Amino acid sequence: MKKPQAFTVHDIARMAGVSAMTVSRALNNPERVSAGTLLKVREVVRQTGFVPNGIAGGLRSSRAKLVAAVLPTLTGAVFQETVRSLNQALDERGYQLMIGQSGYDASREDVLLDAIIRRRPDGIVLTGIMHSAEGRRRLLAAGIPVVETWDLTPTPIDMLVGFSHERIGETVCHFLYSRGYRHPLLLSADDERARRRMDGFRRMAQVLGLTAEIPTQLVPAPTTLGSGRSGLIEALATHPETDALFCSSDMLALGVLIEAQTRGLAVPEQLGVVGLGDLEFAANLQPALTSVRIDGTRIGRMAAQFIVDRAEGRAVSEPIVDIGFEIIERASA
C-alpha cells in the first residue's frame, strides 16, 4: 500500500502563491524572507497542519539531526541515567535520539546495527564496546562518529567514554577486605563486563592473600529483586561461611537486603553488601546501601558533546576518556 503524502512544499507554495523554495526558506531561515511572505506561508502551514518531510530534506542536505543509541536492555536501570542525560543534551542541541535494543546477544547486535546505519544517523552511541569484527568494519565504512561507553578498551572504533570494570572488582575486593570481611561472594549476572569485574576481584583477593577461591553465584539477566533473594539463599546454602556479597546491581543488592532481614541476618555485622550503580533508592534503603557509583549523567553528556562536535565539523581533542568510579560508603558494608 502506498502511503499518501498529505502535503508537500509545492502544495503549500501553490496555496500561498509563492515558490517551493520560498516555503522552504520560510520554514528554515525565516529571516531571509520578507515579513509579508512569511505571514502568508505561515498561515497556510497552520491551516494545513503541514510538517515538511525531513527524510527528503535530510537526503538533500545530509543532516539527519539524529543520534542512535544501542542498549543491551531497555529495562536495565543502570543505563537510564546515561540515556536520560544523553537524550537531554542532544535535545538541547536540536538532535533526536533513537534507541535500539541489542539484547546482550551478538548476532542481534549486527542486525540492529545494520538497521541503524541504514538511517545514516549523525552519530552512534554504544553501551559497551563493539566486539564483532563485521560490526566494526561496517561502522568504520559508514564513516559515522561512534562513541563506545561503559567500558574501556585500548582499541576503540572511534571515541570512548568509559571506565575499568577490572578496577571496580579490585577496588571493591580491597574495600571489603579493609572492612574485615574475609569470605566474600560474587552475586552477578553473567555478562562480559560482569566477568571482568569478577576477574579483578579475584586478582585482588590473591594479592591480599585470601587463600580460598572466591565463590560466584550467577543469576540470569536482567537482574531483579527476586533473583537477589533467591541468589542469597543459594549462596548461603553452598557457602555458609560467606560474610559479604558484591552484587552486580543495586536491585540485586536490595533483594539480598530484604532476604537477609527476613532471615534475621544482621547487615553489615553478619553480612556486608555492596551494590553497583548507586541508583536513587540505594541511599534511602534501611540500612543504606554501599554501592559503586558511576557518573552516568556525565557519560551521556560527554557522548552527546562528542557526537555533536563531530557532526558539526569540530574535532574532538580528547576522544578517549576514563571517567572512573567511586565507592559510596554507606551502612551496608
Binding residues vs its own copies (CB under 8 A): 1-7, 48-59, 62, 64-66, 74-75, 77, 80, 83-84, 87, 91, 96-101, 114-120, 122, 137-138, 140-143, 224-226, 229, 251, 254-255, 258, 261-262, 280-281, 283-286, 311-313
Select from 15, 27, 113, 302 the one that contacts DNA (CB under 7 A).
27
Given its own copies, DNA, none, residue 206, with its beta carbon under 5 to 8 Å by kind, binds none
Strands annotated E in 74-115: 96-101
Question: Which H or E element spans position 230?
Answer: helix 225-238
Given DNA, its own copies, none, residue 32, with its beta carbon under 5 to 8 Å by kind, binds DNA
Kindly state the cell numbers that stand for 83: 540515556
Q: Residues 272-281, buried b or exposed e (16+ Cβ, 10 A)?
A: bbbbbbbbee
Is residue 246 a contact partner of residue 187, using CB atoms and an 8 Å limit? yes
In the complex, the smallest distance separating the C-beta of residue 169 from DNA, rounded to whole angstroms, is 44
C-alpha 151, offset from chain centre? 11
44 binds DNA, rule: CB under 7 A? no
The three-class DSSP label of residue 297 is helix
Q: Which of residues 4-23 bind DNA (CB under 7 A)?
A: 5, 8-10, 18-22
**In DSSP terms, which residues pair with 162 in a beta bridge?**
322
How far CA 39 is from CA of 25, 26, 43, in Å, comes to: 13, 9, 6
DSSP secondary-structure letter at 214? Answer: P
Give whichever of 51 and 331 is closer to DNA, judged by the CB atom: 51
Given DNA, its own copies, none, residue 36, with its beta carbon under 5 to 8 Å by kind, binds DNA
In the complex, the smallest distance separating the C-beta of residue 240 from its own copies, rounded to whole angstroms, is 22
Kindly state the cell numbers that stand for 85: 542525560
Given its own copies, DNA, none, residue 240, with its beta carbon under 5 to 8 Å by kind, binds none
x/- track of binding to DNA for residues 127-166 (CB under 7 A): ----------------------------------------
214/55 Cα distance (integer angstroms): 55
DSSP secondary-structure letter at 191? Answer: S
Is residue 87 a contact partner of residue 29, using CB atoms and an 8 Å limit? no
Q: Which of residues 47-66 bind DNA (CB under 7 A)?
A: 52-53, 56-57, 59-62
45 binds DNA, rule: CB under 7 A? no
34 binds DNA, rule: CB under 7 A? yes
- Contact residues for 1 (Cβ-Cβ < 8 A; gap 6+): none
Catalog residues that contact DNA under the rule CB under 7 A: 5, 8-10, 18-22, 24-25, 27-28, 32-34, 36-37, 52-53, 56-57, 59-62
